[in-house]
Amino acid sequence: MKIINTSLEAVAVEPEQYPADIRPEVAFVGRSNVGKSSLINALMNRKALARVSGQPGKTRTINFYNIDNAVYFVDLPGYGYARAPKSEKEKWGVMIEKYLQNREQLRGIVLLLDIRHPPSALDLQMYEWLAYYGFPMVCALTKMDKLKRSQVAKHVAIIRKDLGITADKQGVLIPFSSETKQGRDELLATIGGLL
């Protein structure tokens, strides 16, 4: 998959605000602060089209990025931001669930996990839920620049084991860094495959 032109097409809270056309969509899912917006910027080769923040809970809407008038990349709010007020957490949960459950043109999911840590209970729940519903999925293991190169394979193996991945297609794990762009080509090719 090659990306030339990108723009922010729609910012949605309710389904009525999603783009009205039926282009295929790829959604980026993961806990708050894991690096979803940064990864989308890295894929698009844009510095700051998607808003990034060191504070968790930055993305609070569903943002649709138009990729060459052919595909939408969908940046979702993160889950598991413990310090968000309960009412906000519930609102984001409903927003994410409504999108994932009902969006017909959703063709694939990129689930983001921090390569430094074992998946959290919420990560495991999300992975299992997505796998159960049969979404084509790839896991991007973010922030690999924060590990020593010699540590990467060990961390990938731990995450693979925790997710219970054997050898099928749901098992694609791609170490990634938005800082160095490592993993970008492989992830783009895999997303192209989902589409």
Distance CA 189, CA 192 (A): 5
Amino acid occupying residue 141 = L
Q: Is 54 in the site for ligand GTP (CB under 6 A)?
A: yes
Q: Which is nearer to Mg ion, 18 or 156 (CB)?
A: 18
Distance CA 40, CA 181 (A): 11
**What's the angle, vertex CA 144, arms to CA 33 and CA 185, rounded to 5?**
100
CB of 167 to Mg ion, least distance (A): 32
Q: Is 41 in the site for Mg ion (CB under 5 A)?
A: no
Distance CA 186, CA 1 (A): 10
Q: Is 59 in the site for Mg ion (CB under 5 A)?
A: yes
Q: Kindly write out the interface string for residues 129-168 of this chain, putting x where it contacts ligand GTP by CB under 6 A and - elsewhere.
A: -------------xx-xx----------------------
Q: Is 184 in the site for ligand GTP (CB under 6 A)?
A: no
Quick one: which of 34, 71, 100, 138 contacts ligand GTP (CB under 6 A)?
A: 34
Distance CA 168, CA 126 (A): 18
